[in-house]
Amino acid sequence: MRMKKIIVAIDGPASSGKSTTAKQLAKKLDCIYVDSGAMYRAVALYLLQNDINFHDKTMLRKALVAINIEIISSKHKEENTIILNGENVTKKIREPEITNYSSTIAKDGLIRERMVELQRKLAETRSIVMDGRDIGTVVFPHADFKFFVIASIEERAKRRWLENQNKGLGSKTLDEIKQELAFRDKTDSTREIAPLKKAEDAIEIDTTNLSVQQQVEEIYGIIKNEIFL
């Protein structure tokens, strides 16, 4: 029996296992799952498609007004569907060019301000599990539960490599993937605004040696103890 509306924030570096865990956790808790990274990816796609330099603040302000991002999350479907100005871009935003560029544009204060506003709106009326980089520190500093998910860079590169193989996107070597992850780790954790970091009151979960099921059970166990009395 659910006691009240809850917000669960799950942050961590790329390929740490946070999204897989967050999706399954949301299902178990009967909550909505929101992938905040997908929003930054949608902005990156829009800026690239429309040839807009985000350093040009006049252009960027106009773009942020023109960008309409819908995150369709349903309790019956793990994956979020991302609609950018009426177009389903769920697949497109996973392309490598967008992956790297999303980390670059996520440094921008105007972009972050707009995304945080949208993210908070999504949680106004519903229980939610949201994953990202600054969910526990900036978006929901008063979240009911905060987790910071980490894993060694070797393990994260291996996971991403396997994921690529399974999707038939196998052209990158393990070493190339490791370098890309290191680039994103650095960009995400050294930026001035809302860098990737563990909130003081977040629980750290190291998934290096955990299966997906173990990760989910560990986090679910902590939440269950407090809300299902």
22 within 8 A of 131, measured Cβ to Cβ: yes
- For position 133 contacting ligand DC by CB under 6 A, the verdict is yes
Q: How far is it, in rounded angstroms, from Cα 71 to Cα 12?
A: 21
User: Between residues 14 and 143, which has the closer beta carbon with respect to ligand DC?
Assistant: 14
Residue for token digits 């680039």? 183
Contact with ligand DC (CB under 6 A): which of 40, 46, 145, 147?
Answer: 40
172 Cβ neighbours under 8 A, 6+ residues apart = 96, 161, 164, 180
- For position 185 contacting ligand DC by CB under 6 A, the verdict is no
Report in angstroms how near the CB of residue 43 gets to ligand DC at its nearest. 9
Footprint (CB under 6 A) of ligand DC, residues 70-109: 102-103, 106
User: Between residues 4 and 91, which has the closer beta carbon with respect to ligand DC?
Assistant: 91
Contact with ligand DC (CB under 6 A): which of 8, 114, 127, 132?
Answer: 132
Q: How far is it, in rounded angstroms, from Cα 200 to Cα 34?
A: 22
Amino acid at 117: E
Return the SS3 of 77.
Answer: strand
Binding residues for ligand DC, how many (CB under 6 A)?
A: 14
Kindly give the residue spans of alpha helices, DSSP state H, lying in the chain: 18-29, 36-49, 57-66, 96-105, 109-122, 153-166, 174-190, 212-227
- For position 14 contacting ligand DC by CB under 6 A, the verdict is yes
Contact with ligand DC (CB under 6 A): which of 16, 36, 80, 215?
Answer: 36
* Bridge pairing between strands 145-150 and 7-11: parallel
Report in angstroms how near the CB of residue 3 gets to ligand DC at its nearest. 27
Q: How far is it, in rounded angstroms, from Cα 202 to Cα 143?
A: 10
Kindly write out the interface string for residues 188-217 of this chain, putting x where it contacts ligand DC by CB under 6 A and - elsewhere.
Answer: x-----------------------------
User: Between residues 83 and 227, which has the closer beta carbon with respect to ligand DC?
Assistant: 83
- For position 159 contacting ligand DC by CB under 6 A, the verdict is no
- For position 114 contacting ligand DC by CB under 6 A, the verdict is no
Report in angstroms how near the CB of residue 154 gets to ligand DC at its nearest. 18
- For position 137 contacting ligand DC by CB under 6 A, the verdict is no
Closest CA to 144 of 4, 48, 6, 29: 6
Q: Which residues bind ligand DC (CB under 6 A)?
A: 14, 36-37, 40-41, 102-103, 106, 132-135, 184, 188
